[in-house]
Every structure is written in C-alpha cells, then in structure tokens.
Amino acid sequence: MAQHTRTWAEVVGLTQARSGAAFSSGTELANIGFLLNSAARTIYDESRYWERYLVLEPRTAARGYIATTEDGFNVYGGGFSPSNGLYVRNGDLNGKPSYNLVEDGSPKFRLSWNSAIFDWQITALLYITSAGVVVTSNGAWLYQPGDVLYLNDAQDATPPGAGWITDQGADLPPYVDALSEIGEAMGYWSGEKWDGGDPTSLTAYPDKNGIRVASNVTGTVYVAFKKSWTDTFGNGESGTLAKVPTEWAEFMAYDAARSYRASQGGEDGFNPIALRDVNNALERALMKVSRSGAIAALTNQLKTQYSVDNSV
C-alpha cells in the first residue's frame, strides 16, 4: 500500500459536500478540524498495521525493560557499517546534545556538535579496524580517536536527519533518525534483521513501566512497533500537517460529516448520513491493510509469552 496523501483542503471539501454545509472561517471551521482529527485518531487506533506508522528501531534493553521513549538516534545506511546503530544521549558537548554508540560497555563512536568548525560529526572514540574491531594503538587500525567519518553542516539544535556527507568514512553517508515513541510494541530481537531463530523476538509484553522483556537480554535490541500518535492535521500552519493519508480520507470525511450533522440536528434528530456508510468507509480502509499482507506476516512472526521477571 503506497503512502499516498490527500490535501487537507480536499478532505474539508469532501466533508462539506457530505454534510451539505459550507463551513465558514473561524469557530465552525475550527470545529470541523477537531471532528476530522478525532476521526483520524479513531482510524489510527483501529489497526496496528498502518504502514506509515510501522517502525523498526534499535533500543536499549535494561533491567528487564525497553522504555517506550529514549533520547537517542538510529544511524543506519552508512558505508562503514560498524558506525551504524543506536546512539544514546550522553550529556552535552560544545553546547549541544551528544550521543554515543556503545558496544560491550565501551563508547565506540560519537555523534556530536563541533563548535570549532560548526558542524555535526560522527567520530571514532577508539582505535578501530576495517572490520569494526577495537584494538590498541599498536594494532592494524583504520580509525583512531577523533577521526571524523561523516559530517553535516546544518546548524540544528539536535543532529539533522538529512544532508550528511562522507569525510573519512566509507560511502555512502548514513541516515540519522531521531527515535520514535513506541505506541504498540510487536516484538524485539537481537539483530537488525530477524532470521526467525531468535526466541527473544517473541517474549515481550507492555506494562506501566514500558515493554517488559521476558528473557534475560540487555544492551541493544531491535524493536518492531507502531509509533505513537503525534499528528494533528490542518492547513499546515501552527505545526499541523496539510497532507492526510489517502487511505483515511474517506472515513474521516464520513465520520466528521455525520458528527457535524448530529451537532446541527433538529427536533426529529434526523441525520442523512447513515452510520452504515461511516462503518463501510472504515472497513474499506482496514481491508487495504489486510490485502497488503502486513497483518498475516507479522502475526505469524510475533507472539506474546509471559515468563521470567528480569527487572532486578
């Protein structure tokens, strides 16, 4: 299912046509925005398999839990693969946040701001071979502490996602994504690619403290999840998104139009928009997710098990 979009203006116009009303500016138009966003949240909650909200990211497992939020970045796709992975916040450096990639208990690479030349950098912290092995200064190292693998001259307050270039690293430059908040966890495993043979991918469940892992695992794991809802749709101003998922547009318009007509109802309480039409629009959207195969594929892979308490 391709990630096509419809404009906010289109969805408002569709809602207007279905409700038989022309929304003026001001309070009425703002109320329609609330109704459309309520419909969007409803359909978001209906399925965990909306592809635009599915995420696979590295996270830290510690004391039997994976936190739903973590201050860090997922660095991936870089030509020097040992520098790819989870970079976790390690205080500030040169007035901006600094992040380390830790392996076997030792910081190996740093993602930080260089205030001398005004750029973001991914640098080596140890003597590292071409295979990513840590050695002493007498070893056959490829990178030594302070070597800059990749850099980005954006002046952002936190590491930018795009615009990275290769310095001493190997092409291609990496992608650098801030970690998303976990909404619904589906499973976790020890490597970026799940091979079906790791039982830790199937042993986790949520509780009030985060994602409880029912196996004795610590360090970096990869988590498949539906990210938390953070979007507000609108005209693109004040932080709103002016593009609406195509697969949601019909349901949003039907649901908002019915709610609007209900709020304007006369004495007979007649609503020309049948609840059946709203439900049919929802079912059509959910059928697209099912046809994409995501539900069947992930359901076959991911199970929930309850076993050992590793929180202490």
Q: What does the buried/exposed string (b/e) look like for 56-74 if buried means 16 or more CB atoms within 10 Å of the residue's CB?
A: bbbbbbeebbbbbebebbb
Output the average pLDDT for the chain.
85
54: pLDDT strictly greater than 70: yes
Condensed to tens digits (0 to 9), the pLDDT of residues 231-240 reads: 999 999 999 9
What is the reported pTM? 0.81
* Nearest residue to 51 (alpha-carbon basis) of 234, 278, 224, 250: 224
Range with lowest mean pLDDT among 55-59, 123-127, 202-206: 202-206
Spatial neighbors of 167 by CB under 8 A, at least 6 apart, are: 121, 148, 149, 150, 151
Looking at mean pLDDT, say which of 97-106, 188-197, 253-262, 291-300 comes out highest: 97-106
Mean pLDDT of 294-309: 44
Mean pLDDT of 272-286: 64
Question: Where do we find the tokens 């199970």?
Answer: 303
3-state secondary structure of 163: coil
Mean pLDDT of 241-258: 93
